[in-house]
Structure 1
Amino acid sequence: MYMPRHFEENRPEVLHRLIADHPFGTLITNGPNGLDANHLPFEAQLDPAGGMLEAAPAGAEEGTRSHGILRAHVARANPVWQEAATHPEALVIFQGPTAYISPNWYPSKQEAHRQVPTYNYMVVHAHGRIVVRDDEAFVRGLVARLTRKMEAGEPVPWKMGDAPADYLSQMLGAIVGIEIEVTRLVGKWKLSQNKEAADRRGAAETLLARASDEQQAVGQAMLDAPPAF
């Protein structure tokens, strides 16, 4: 990922928060048929200290750091879990809020007209290796935890016990669990840090005045981000 220095975000707690708030990630692998992308909800267990791997997966270099574990499940009919045996390297992309930025929102545009449109965004790339967990106990526990998290805001949360036992066993048998040991986290917060303070503030305040929660989130993040100069 192209990374100008002023867009780097390295604070573990900030990266972890984006993943927690936006757990629906894009799993990218490079299998025997080339690049593949799968879109999955992830459970994250991330280590803020980034400790050394106690038992590195096959092929891992000595001294590889672990930033924690990402867990998900895929359809048994999806070949990605079988391909992982020989092509375990993976990248998971977690996309945070994004917003279009109009040149008209920069005060300096009214003076010199030397501004162009852009998009601001926050994103985390999690690099690691896939380990397949094809056992019902793992999958059942993972689905139960994901369900509790996703249903937490419902007036009457659905729970796995609501479904007939035989039907639930059939559904669990149709999916396979995966774990990804995270060896590298890369964050990019493109929030107009390279703009003059007045221009950055003008664009941020315009977003904060919009009705969209996503636009407001980007606007606030722009105000919170340290400037490049």
Structure 2
Amino acid sequence: MYTPPAFREDDPVLLRQIMRAARLATLVTATAEGMLATPLPLFLDESEGEHGVLHGHVAKANPQWRAPPIGEALVLFGGADAYITPSWYAAKQEHGKVVPTWNYEAVHAYGAVEFFDDPARLLDAVTRLTALYEEPRAEPWEVSDAPEAFIAAQLKGIVGVRLPISRIEGKRKMSQNRPEADREGVAAGLAESDRPSDRQVAAMIPTAGK
């Protein structure tokens, strides 16, 4: 990932926050058949390894797990993002030498991916992933709520994914390269947007008052 120094993010706490908030990630592998990618939910176990381990599953019918990966796999996590119009820049009024851009957060996690079909490991991964996203509900659904034989049959249709993270790249592009007046204009413009995601980015723009 191309990351100018001004946008590089190395804080492990923030990187993990972005990964958790992304909810849906994309697993990418290079194979002899070409590049393969699958969108899928993953959960991060921070207690394993230096950078943590990602867990999830793909459909057994998905050809990605059958194609041996060449080198490390890549998992893409997208964070908050917003379009930035040059109309918000104070510099537009001064000299007009401004263009549109996009502000965003992104995390790329690399590691040797493992695919497995052991029923016990699959059940553990599915149970933990389900618990993560059901926990906020008033009455969380649990895997054990379904008949045991039904769950066992469902597990036969998936393959587990385990990826110990060997390295992480983080990027947080939030107008850090613009003068203070331009950043103030961007924050104010985004804050007035009807899009919740734009207002989320507005709060991330570094300004004198933050």
TM over 0.5: yes
| Pairing 1:150–2:103 present | no
Match of 1:73 in 2: 57
User: 1:49-128 maps to which residues of 2 (within 5 A)?
Assistant: 66-84=50-68, 87=70, 89-128=72-111
Match of 1:205 in 2: 188
Give aligned-pair identity as a percent: 39
Match of 1:22 in 2: 22
In terms of mean alpha carbon deviation, does 178-187 or 149-158 score higher? Answer: 149-158
1:224 Cα deviation from its structure 2 partner = 6.8
Which letter does structure 2 place at the counterpart of 1:27? L
Which letter does structure 2 place at the counterpart of 1:74? V
Which letter does structure 1 place at the counterpart of 2:175? S
1:104 Cα deviation from its structure 2 partner = 0.7
Match of 2:32 in 1: 32
RMSD (Å) for aligned C-alpha atoms: 1.9
Which letter does structure 2 place at the counterpart of 1:188? K
SS at match of 1:19: helix
1:88 Cα deviation from its structure 2 partner = 5.4
Answer yes or no: is the 8 Å Cα contact 1:88–1:131 preserved in 2: no
Answer yes or no: is the 8 Å Cα contact 1:20–1:44 preserved in 2: yes
SS at match of 1:211: coil
- Give the number of equivalent residue pairs: 208
1:223 Cα deviation from its structure 2 partner = 2.5
Q: Return structure 1 stretches of 4+ with deviation > 3 angstroms.
A: none
1:178 Cα deviation from its structure 2 partner = 1.3
Structure 2: tracts of 5 or more residues without a match: none
Answer yes or no: is the 8 Å Cα contact 2:31–2:70 preserved in 1: yes
**TM-score normalized by the length of structure 2:** 0.92
SS at match of 2:175: coil
**TM-score normalized by the length of structure 1:** 0.84
User: 1:169-208 maps to which residues of 2 (within 5 A)?
Assistant: 169-208=152-191
| Alignment partners' CA distance in 2, 1:224 and 1:200 | 6
Which letter does structure 1 place at the counterpart of 2:170? G
SS at match of 1:169: helix
Structure 1: tracts of 5 or more residues without a match: 52-65
Residues 209 and 223 of structure 1, relative CA distance in 2, 3 Å threshold: farther
1:40-86 per-position Cα deviation (integer Å, ceiling 9, x unaligned): 10110236xx96xxxxxxxxxxxxxx4221111011111222223x5
